[in-house]
Amino acid sequence: METNNGRNRFVSQINVTPLVDVMLVLLVIFMVTAPMMTSGIDVNLPKADGQAVTKQNEPLVITIDRSRNIYLGSKVLKLAELRQKLTAIRSGSEQAKAVLLKADEAVPYGVVVLAMSEIRKAGIDKVGMVTEPTTAFPADRR
């Protein structure tokens, strides 16, 4: 509002301070919640010593959970479909030369071997087993 003598005028500049405050709060919220948004299949992996895989050429991950469901990424597959999917993926990209197999420790060894057999029949030569690192054997497993 402007008067005759020009003392009371509106300021036509944008106040940026509240905008910066809101943006910083949103940034902190997203930084805190982003790691919690990653989801996967809960598998109780067996413990073993070994070296970590580098992420230069990230392999495909196949997971077998406690109830013997087979996942390619996050998609559920039957054992019979596994070879077909891997063959199709392998023919379409160079990335599918290696597969990591994550199996719950409660899954029978025969089921894991059947999955490994299907992976090999799909033409994939490098099959790795994913385990949790351990410091020592428990006393009851020696």
Look at 9-23, 45-59, 87-101, 114-128 and tell me which has the smallest mean pLDDT.
45-59
What whole-number percentage of the chain has pLDDT above 70? Answer: 71
| Confidence class for position 126, pLDDT limits 50, 70, 90 | confident
Model-level pTM? 0.55
Per-residue pLDDT of 13-46, as tens digits, reads 888 898 999 999 999 998 888 877 766 667 776 7
Write a three-state SS string for the chain. Answer: CCCCCCCCCCCCCCCCHHHHHHHHHHHHHHHHHCHHHCCCCCCCCCECCCCCCCCCCCCEEEEECCCCCEEECCEEECHHHHHHHHHHHHHHCCHHHEEEEEECCCCCHHHHHHHHHHHHHCCCCEEEECCECCCCCCHHHC
Nearest to 45 by CA among 85, 86, 104: 104
Cα dihedral 113, 116, 120, 121 sign: positive
Question: What is the distance between the alpha carbons of residues 35 and 119, in angstroms, rounded to a whole number?
Answer: 31
Q: Which domains does the chain have, with CATH numbers?
A: 41-142 (3.30.420.270)
